[in-house]
Amino acid sequence: MLYRTAGQFKTSYKADMALFPVRQDAVLLAVILALVWGVFPLLASEFAFQTLLIPILIYALAALGLNILTGYAGQLSLGTGAFMGVGAYACYKMVTLFPWMNPVVAILLSGLFSAGVGVMFGIPSLRIKGFYLAIATLAAQFFLVWLFEKWGWLYNDNASGAIQVPNLDMFGIYVAGPQASSLVQYYVVLAVVTLMTLLCINLTRGNLGRTWKATRDMDIAAELIGINLLRSKLMAFAVSSYVVGVAGALFVFMWRGAAEPNLFDIPLSFRVLFIAIIGGLGSILGNYLGAILIVGLPVVLNTLPQALGLPISSATVEHLNVMIVGALIVFFLIIEPHGLARLWALIREKLIIWPFPH
Amino acid sequence: MDGSRTDDSTEGQETVRDEGHVVAEGRRIGPVLMELRNITLRFGGVVAIKDISFDIREGEIRAIIGPNGAGKSSMLNIISGFYTPSEGALLYRGETRPPMRPYEVARLGVARTFQNIALFEGMTVLDNVMTGRLTHMKAGLVAQALWWGRARDEEIANREVVEKVIDFLEIQAIRKTPVGRLPYGLKKRVELARALAAEPSLLLLDEPMAGMNVEEKEDMSRFILDVNDEFGTTICLIEHDMGVVMDLSDRVVVMDYGRKIGDGTPDEVRRNQDVIDAYLGVAH
Amino acid sequence: MLNDIFIKPFADMAAAPDFLLQVLWEGLVSGILYALIALGFVLIYRSSRIFNFAQGIMVVFAALTLVGLHALGIPAWISVALTLAVMFALAVTIERVVLRPLVGQPDIILFMATIGITLFLIGGGEIIFGGENKVMITEELGIPTGSVLLEPWGGLLILEQKDITAVLVAAALVVALLVFLNRTRMGRAIRALGDDHQAALSVGISLQTVWVLVWFIAGIIALVTGIAWGARAGVSFALEVIAYKALPVLMLGGLESITGAIIGGLMIGMLEKLFEIYWGQPLLGGNTETWFAFVLALVVLLFRPQGLFGERIIERV
Ligand SMILES: Nc1ncnc2c1ncn2[C@@H]1O[C@H](COP(=O)(O)OP(=O)(O)OP(=O)(O)O)[C@@H](O)[C@H]1O
Ligand SMILES: [Mg+2]
């Protein structure tokens, strides 16, 4: 009876279009929000912040950005890592050029730069489709990472070639750099991620979302019913790259603390792609589920042998991790190609009709 | 759906009627809405359409018939801007239409369905029909992201229009069903709903009844007539079933091998010797 | 500035034609290996619509297996045979465990599955063989390691014998593949599959057999490239990057074109070397080979969306 919807009637289209037409969904969300905003930060250890909470949120946000482009608008991208890099470097340049700038504002602005670069690399998408486009996004991936390395201005010509996050404060509290506490950083990340998620939910359920999905499902028909494909695709590139760029800025400023160019290389792009696909393309929730799995799994695997007292070297564990993640990807694709979000939807449907299945 | 009423009360307009089917009282055929002049279409060496001229009048049901490969779909594709004619001109409301991208044509008020269903399979019926409204929605990115102001008002207003179309075509029950799960006949109907939702001034239907059983065909014929009667929508349709064509249409263009071999009321066309020859052996 | 971009490089080329030849030769050696890998991609794509991202790691895996087996004291040529057996087992396993359950899924799902395979092989390879750089058993395989000196126009051109061997072996393999594809029943079935599944099935060969076969061919190609590249740069996971280079080749040549893969591979191999030497190093700080091929392919595709050798895509409704 947990998910009974009987007795919940909609009396207006407005009510039917509410974010959570089913009351139980709203309750569930309220519980989750209470947990992440109130309970987790109280209980979490430094280790939990750094290995689970903060990275899960950031990776989920990056996957959300990618999902807009690939899951909603149907344009496969393999260059997410590089666009995260654009966001991170843009943020770095802003806070070092304008030290008075509010760091959160800088993070939100840095997305604009990656959006611009994203649109530039998105222009070919009108003519290049499918896997050809995916390879084309690799051009962005390799070119941008090369640029991060060669263009000294980007990292203020540091001898190390890396960017180092300085101490940044907001109203007297350190939010980034070595002095910042994990708790504060967690809240900053959580606030940004919550805001972005809300905006993305609105975009994807409205007119733009339908435009994207139409472009994805059948581009010729989409154009014939009045969709300007170039505009629709570029809009997807812009919004997606914006979100990805913000995630990239958070990634370096709120979590890693420093970054070298190769941090944004292909493995990062793929990790984000896994999260989006295992979570579920064309889903918002899926990004979170995918991030929990992909970020959480190695942590579990790392602590497991110790807990069991197995004498396995940490390098072996690392490699086992990679192997298991690979196997899991195949496994999940086989049991549910539409991802964890679809799995949850199925469970939810069962709950709605439970305990009277017919 | 009132926005698309095109019955103008121009006196003295010639009214083309076919005694064979019931025409609502007072339904009028207006002036020429779309005129095609000397259209030729080539694909490399293949001539798909050869020097064809005809017009579509406001408020009428205009049929295009012809054997397979005659060039009928290509003709609709030219009207909807998917193909650019190699020669010839299109006139819309008396003015030459410059070459346009398909989406621009759609924004002029031309909506269509497809010979091979072209629905958005990953979306629900409701969302598919809502896409028909997107030429009517103007809210910007920020308003949409915030679900505020114009974006929300538009969403509600257009949802109302869409719900009317859904009621009209009797597909309320499948509103929230993903289109991919629907049977063929219903998909055809959803496609019509998407086109109608645009409140088009010209509706193009490419074989709306292909592959349907008798009952489904009757339903579809009724919907097409009702759309034309109730909203005065101009319709240009391609259909192979002669019985249906004769019942529905005001005027018929007959094509064969890319040429026009007949044009007129169903009765005239039926008596045309060229048409009889082209259809020799085909019962009608 | 304009001089540096448009005039000086060509002046340099004219001034030292022997060096230009040297550059082109190096490009050719890489190019033929790119072509080979691209061919592996094309075969798998044509027969199953799978964009096989694991091709690169298969190169590493094959090379590591070979070196690893030899390190156990197994004679070189027996190691090669055993490695081929391992690649065959890999093909069968992939078909059984991954492809068969995923038949009919959207392209992107199959593509992701090959990335899953990639990760699995990376992790597994590291555990079994360790991550450090190893030396390819070049001499043990009887590959000559000296070099040939030529003196065109009184200049100097150095051709490493192992490069010559690589080019010859790769060329021979390409020819063998072409013969196989055009002359044998099995080969024709693979090609037909790209055009029409029904037609291919009517030849009387099961889809499963074809898939195992193309993945095995991809495995053979991986071993040959692994040996050739390993002889130049050592054997490590860094080898994987050469498979990325096959991707722009596919863009240029078309995912389904066998000719395209070969010509595209040679073109990209030589052009990226030329660009690096004459423009990249003097003007851009070097290392442009990481992206040049991709950007080139991107630009070409902007003007010819079907690639250089693909057929024009006709869209209909
Ligand atoms: N994009 C295209 N490229 C090349 N030839 C085309 C193209 N579109 C149509 N044709 C050719 O033009 C001719 C007319 O095709 P069209 O689809 O218009 O016929 P049709 O009358 O709709 O036939 P059917 O009843 O089978 O739908 C055919 O010979 C077809 O092969
Ligand atoms: Mg047709």
Quickly state the pLDDT bin for C215 (edges 50, 70, 90).
very high
Distance from residue B73's CA to the centre of ligand 2 (Å): 4
Whether residue C255 is contained in a domain is answered as yes
Contact list, A213 vs chain B (CB under 8 Å) = 120, 122-123, 127
Which ligand lies nearest to the CA atom of residue B48 in the structure? 1
Q: How far is A131 from chain C (nearest CA, A)?
A: 8
* pLDDT score at B27: 60
For residue B227, the SS3 value is helix
Residues B122-131 have pLDDT tens digits of: 999 999 999 9
Whether residue C119 is contained in a domain is answered as yes
Kindly list the protein residues that place their beta carbon closer than 5 angstroms to ligand 2, a single-atom ion: B 73, 115
The domain of C284 spans 2-303
B116 ligand 1 Cβ < 6 A: no
Q: What is the ipTM of this complex?
A: 0.88
- Exposure class string for A264-288: b at 16+ Cβ within 10 A, else e: bbbebbbbbbbbbbbbbbbbbbbbb
Quickly state the pLDDT bin for C11 (edges 50, 70, 90).
confident
Mutation for testing the B interface, residue in A13, A70, A207, A234 having most B CBs under 10 Å: A207
* pLDDT score at B7: 40
* pLDDT score at A14: 72
Residues A77-122 have pLDDT tens digits of: 999 999 999 999 999 999 999 989 999 999 999 999 999 999 999 9
User: A219-233, B261-275, C207-221, C237-251: which has the minimum mean pLDDT?
Assistant: C237-251
Q: What is the CATH number of the domain that holds C208?
A: 1.10.3470
B74 ligand 1 Cβ < 6 A: yes
Pocket test for ligand 1, best of B41, B42, B43, B84 (most atoms within 8 A of CB): B43
Q: How far is B183 from chain C (nearest CA, A)?
A: 20
Quickly state the pLDDT bin for C198 (edges 50, 70, 90).
low
- Provide the residue ranges of all domains of chain B, joining segments of one domain with +: 1-109+200-284, 124-198
Quickly state the pLDDT bin for A355 (edges 50, 70, 90).
low
* pLDDT score at A298: 84
List all residues of chain A from 227 to 246 with a beta carbon under 8 Å from chain B.
227-229, 235, 239
Distance from residue C53's CA to the centre of ligand 1 (Å): 38
- Provide the residue ranges of all domains of chain A, joining segments of one domain with +: 46-265
Quickly state the pLDDT bin for C113 (edges 50, 70, 90).
very high
pLDDT at A20 over 80: no
What mean pLDDT value characterizes chain A? 89
Q: How many inter-chain contacts (B to C, CB under 8 Å) are there?
A: 7
Q: Please give the radius of gyration of chain C, using alpha carbons only, rounded to the nearest integer.
A: 20
User: A3-17, A130-144, A185-199, A239-253: which has the minimum mean pLDDT?
Assistant: A3-17
Region at A214 (left for phi over 0; alpha for psi -120 to 50; beta for the rest): alpha
Quickly state the pLDDT bin for C88 (edges 50, 70, 90).
very high
Contact list, A221 vs chain B (CB under 8 Å) = 114, 118-120
Whether residue C310 is contained in a domain is answered as no
Distances (CA, A) of A284 to A68, A271, B28, B148: 9, 17, 51, 20
Q: Does C298 touch chain A (CB under 8 A)?
A: yes
Q: Which protein residue's CA is at the shortest distance from atom 4 of ligand 1?
A: B43
Distances (CA, A) of C201 to B39, C43, C74, C103: 44, 17, 41, 15
Please give the class, per CATH, of domain B1-109+200-284: alpha beta
Please tell me the pTM assigned to this model: 0.90
Q: Which protein residue's CA is at the shortest distance from atom 6 of ligand 1?
A: B43
Q: Which residues of chain B have pLDDT under 50?
A: 1-25, 281, 283-284
pLDDT at A15 over 80: no
| Residue type at A194 in one-letter notation | T
Q: Does B124 touch chain C (CB under 8 A)?
A: no
Please count the structural domains in chain C. Answer: 1
* pLDDT score at B1: 39
Residues A320-353 have pLDDT tens digits of: 888 988 998 899 889 888 889 888 888 888 887 7
Quickly state the pLDDT bin for C316 (edges 50, 70, 90).
confident
